[in-house]
Structure 1
Amino acid sequence: MLATTQAKKLIQDANFDKVDDVFSMNIPQKYMDSTDKTQILVTDVSTDTELEGNDDFFATNKEIEVQIFYKLKLDFDPEELELPLLKLFKANNWHITQIREHVPDPDTFQVTGTFYFTKMEVIANG
């Protein structure tokens, strides 16, 4: 399963009350101007092979980016969402590799938070 699909499902299943929408790969056009909602976008960063030997590999290390686009009229502290989100990924065997600064989106002026996670998965030999 794609790492983006796994991460999207993980976030959706957590049912965060501060999150209105979760998307993977891209935000559909009809949601692009939804500045009254807090949305999460999960995208692929890279996939590397791991545990190599005998001209083969036995695991993949997948990296994803999770971007949070906060609603313009933010009525909660971003850490109220971010810390439980980080703990959720950590509890599900993802490694937190980078937490970026909060910046305004240049188009919508929404505050964004960006996080990077990796997960190694051993694959079946076959």
Structure 2
Amino acid sequence: MLAVQEANKLLMDVKIPQIDGIYSFNIPAEMVTNVTDTFVLITDANLNTDIFGSNDFYSVNRMIEIQIYFELHPDFDPEKLLIRIMKLFKHDGWIIGEERGFKLDIDTNQLYVTFYVKKEEKTLN
């Protein structure tokens, strides 16, 4: 299963009430200007090989980018939602990477945050 699909399933299974939608790879056209919902976009960041020996590699680190777009006037603390999602991934065996800070979208004035998680997977050879 692709790392993006695995992350999507993890978030979908938990059903966090503040999240109105979870999207993989891209945002549907009708959601691009939506400022009334909070949604998550999950995309691939990279895949790096690891654990080298005998002229081969035996592990891959699968990194994904997670962006949370917040509704214009949330009735919850965006930082607490971010931390909840980070803890969810941490407890599922993902390594929390760089978090880029909260920013405002220049087109919609929505608050959003971007962070990265990665997971090591052993290869079968």
Runs (5+) with no aligned partner, structure 1: none
Taking structure 2 as the reference length, what is the TM-score of the superposition? 0.95
Identity %: 39
Matched residue type, 2:113: G
State the shift of 1:28 in Å.
1.0
RMSD over aligned Cα atoms: 1.0
What are the equivalent positions in structure 2 for 1:1-126 lying under 5 Å apart? 1-125=1-125
SS of residue matched to 1:60: strand
In the alignment of these two chains, the number of paired residues is 125
Unaligned runs of 5+ in 2: none
Give the TM-score normalised by the residue count of structure 1: 0.94
Whole-angstrom CA distance in 2 between matches of 1:108 and 1:9: 28
Whole-Å Cα distance in 1 between the matches of residues 101 and 108 of structure 2? 17
Deviations 1:25-60 (A, max 9, x none): 100112212110001001111101111222221111
- Displacement of 1:79: 2.3
2-structure distance, mates of 1:18, 1:114:
17
Once residues 123 and 30 of structure 1 are traced to their aligned partners in structure 2, the CA distance between those partners, rounded to angstroms, is 39
